[in-house]
């Protein structure tokens, strides 16, 4: 009986912890893949949630540069040299994150001075203007979940939640971001 009560108490603690983390989920938060994550598309990833709504969540992996040349994504910008990032395994669409005091139109405020742009013309205009990679990043693809799917992954301990930080989003060495953040949460 005592062992069963201890198991129930432990389960309640795990569920309470998952509930607290699930309540923390919002646009502008980071999801840091835990060491338990073995999905090759998401292991060692840092995802910035750009949308979190009742219908689902959308995020961009901020720590994976791709080998795709910018000229392949934007053929009109043959001379542009900015890196392209792999936003996630759902290979639909091109998005960009911009760090600016004023939100671009059309754009979606994510947190602080970071906005997401999905308008191709606006992205091209920013690249033509020479916007620095320290304040502008282009992403191909995204990560998406139903709200329940993400809550289930949280309950399994696959993600840790951290507040958004523009310094992390635009880190000059994105390949080191996961190692630094996982040390904070595990």
pLDDT in tens, 73-99: 998 887 777 889 999 999 999 999 999
For 57, the token pair is 């969540």
Identify the pLDDT of residue 8. Answer: 46
Is the predicted pLDDT of residue 16 greater than 90, yes or no? Answer: no
> What is 2-94+137-185's CATH number, 3.40.640.10, 3.40.1740.10, 3.40.50.300, 3.40.50.10090?
3.40.1740.10
Query: What percent of the chain clears pLDDT 90, i.e. is strictly above it?
Result: 68
More confident of the two residues 185 and 160: 160
CA 21/CA 137 separation, integer angstroms: 28
Identify the pLDDT of residue 12. Answer: 43
User: pLDDT by residue (tens digit) across 28-69?
Assistant: 999 999 999 999 999 999 999 999 999 999 999 999 999 988
Give the residue extent of every domain in the chain. 2-94+137-185
Q: Where are the beta strands (DSSP E) in the chain?
A: 29-33, 46-53, 56-61, 84-86, 90-99, 108-111, 114-117, 136-145, 159-163
**pTM, two decimal places:** 0.86
């Amino acid at each position: 009986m005592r062992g069963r009560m201890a198991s129930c108490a432990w389960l309640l603690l795990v569920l309470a912890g998952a509930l607290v983390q699930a309540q923390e989920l919002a646009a502008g938060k980071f999801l840091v893949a835990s060491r338990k994550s073995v999905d090759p598309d998401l292991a060692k990833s840092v995802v910035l949630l750009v949308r979190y709504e009742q219908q689902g969540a959308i995020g961009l992996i901020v720590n994976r540069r791709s080998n795709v040349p910018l000229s392949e994504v934007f053929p009109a910008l043959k001379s542009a040299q900015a890196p392209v990032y792999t936003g996630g395994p759902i290979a639909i669409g091109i998005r960009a994150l911009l760090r600016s005091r004023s939100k671009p139109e059309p754009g979606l405020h994510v947190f602080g001075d970071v906005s997401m742009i999905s308008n191709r013309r606006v992205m091209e205009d920013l690249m033509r203007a020479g916007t620095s990679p320290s304040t502008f990043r282009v992403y191909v693809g995204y990560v998406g979940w139903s709200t329940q799917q993400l809550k289930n992954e949280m309950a399994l301990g696959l993600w840790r939640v951290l507040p958004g930080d523009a310094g992390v989003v635009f880190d000059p060495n994105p390949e080191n971001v996961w190692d630094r953040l996982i040390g904070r949460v595990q």
